[in-house]
Amino acid sequence: MRYVPRDLGPVLLKAARTFPAVVLTGPRRAGKTMLLRKLFPKASYTLMEDPDAIARMRADPHGFLDGIRLPAVLDEVQNVPELFSYVRSRIDKHPRRTGQWFLTGSQDAPLMRGVTESMAGRAAMLQLYPLSRHETPKVNLLHGGFPEALARPAGSSLWFSSYIQTYLERDVRAITNVRDLATYRRFMALLATRHGQVLNRSELARPLQVSVPTINQWIGVLETTQQVLIVPPFYENLGKRLVKSPKIYFTDSGLVCHLLGINTAADLQRSPFLGPVFEGQIASEIIKRQVNSGVRRELYFFRDEQGLEVDFIVPARSGGVTLLECKATRTPLPRMTIPLQQLNEAFKGKKTVKRNVEMVLVHRKGPRDTTGTKMHGVKLYDEDAWAARGK
């Protein structure tokens, strides 16, 4: 698979012109290194997972940095968090020199702590997720968006198996003291069966015979390594009793399909998980679009105790909102728009806040092009048309 230009590229270039350093986080193998080396081909490169590089850095930090030609890409720097303070001191000597340091890592929270403590105001902090459908039509439900899985779709099952093993041995062990990686692997598979559901930690703890605090810790690891998306409930009071627990999705549809044992498109079409996998991909596409545009992540769902549910609520910059329903059907029907219309009426009935409300139904691509057409005031988009919005 040839290089695909990333939507984050313009934001990254702007950050490099503004800040001395750029910290780029994201899931392992999302394409962070390739993006940096493509945008900054003259930058030197050092992998901070190399035992020799780690040993040299810890034995003589100044000597190690003296030997690096700027601009420089330092890859997987979460392995040497003490590096931040030494880079900071060099930035402070020449604060007006921008685009000198590019630091990447697969673990968001530890990196962010290091940046907060050592490089506040000196580094732009960006995230890169796997490829989106907005970036390439090759992204699909079965194989997801990891570049290597898309490059060799026939071998994607083996690739995901290797990916999970590497993830467990490197990222999970580096963040927390998980003694039994086999149980953690079972936890990931069990969580995949809850993909797109309201998070119930007790239901996860019981079959694994672990405590709820342990489940909290393990979910925190997945979130830290950006393998899952936690979508909170919409918080605005609409005169209804609302569900307060968040929903959880795996970031990549290919990974969740692998964890569910779905290996072919035919398997996926017959699977009871088709709907949640499709819904999760749309959630991931929304987050990717926000992050790649350099704006704050904002995504919510709505569910009240009377059974009214809308998959997603996306705030707009103008103060409006988009109400979004996802249906893994190729034939959108009028009844599918009812929840959107009911929630829209609830917004209209709230006199204290008036806002523009867009209602959207996203469905799988079918024989009929529905792009931009309306059904009872609800805009219809198939998955390709939805991904193309903004191009």
Sheet (strand 374-375) strand order: 300-303, 309-315, 321-327, 357-363, 378-382, 374-375
CATH for 9-127? 3.40.50.300
Domain borders along the chain are: 9-127, 147-388
What pLDDT shows up at residue 166?
87
Q: How many CB atoms lie within 10 A of CB 86?
A: 16
The pLDDT confidence band at residue 176, using thresholds 50, 70 and 90, is confident
95, 65 contact by CB (below 8 A): no
Whether 178 shows a pLDDT value over 80: the answer reads: no
Structure confidence at residue 100 (pLDDT):
96
Using the predicted structure, report yes or no on whether residue 170 has a pLDDT greater than 80: no
Residue 199 DSSP label: P
> Quick one: pLDDT at residue 244?
83
Per-residue pLDDT tens digits for 272-288: 999 999 999 999 999 99
Query: Which residue pairs, CB below 8 angstroms and at least 24 apart, start in 94-100?
Result: 94/20, 95/20, 95/122, 97/20, 98/16, 98/17, 98/18, 98/19, 98/20, 99/16, 99/17, 99/19, 99/20, 99/22, 99/40, 99/71, 100/20, 100/21, 100/70, 100/71, 100/72
Centroid of chain to Cα 261 = 22
Q: What tens digit of pLDDT does each residue of 188-219 get? A: 999 999 999 999 999 999 999 999 999 999 99
Predicted confidence (pLDDT) per residue in 300-314, tens digit = 999 888 888 999 999
Q: Which CATH class is domain 147-388?
A: mainly alpha
Per-residue pLDDT at 352 exceeds 70:
no
- Give the confidence band of 391 by pLDDT, cuts at 50, 70, 90: very low
Mean pLDDT of 35-55: 94
Cis before 332 (ω within 30): no
**What is the mean predicted confidence (pLDDT) over 98-116?**
78
Matching fold, domains 9-127 and 147-388:
no
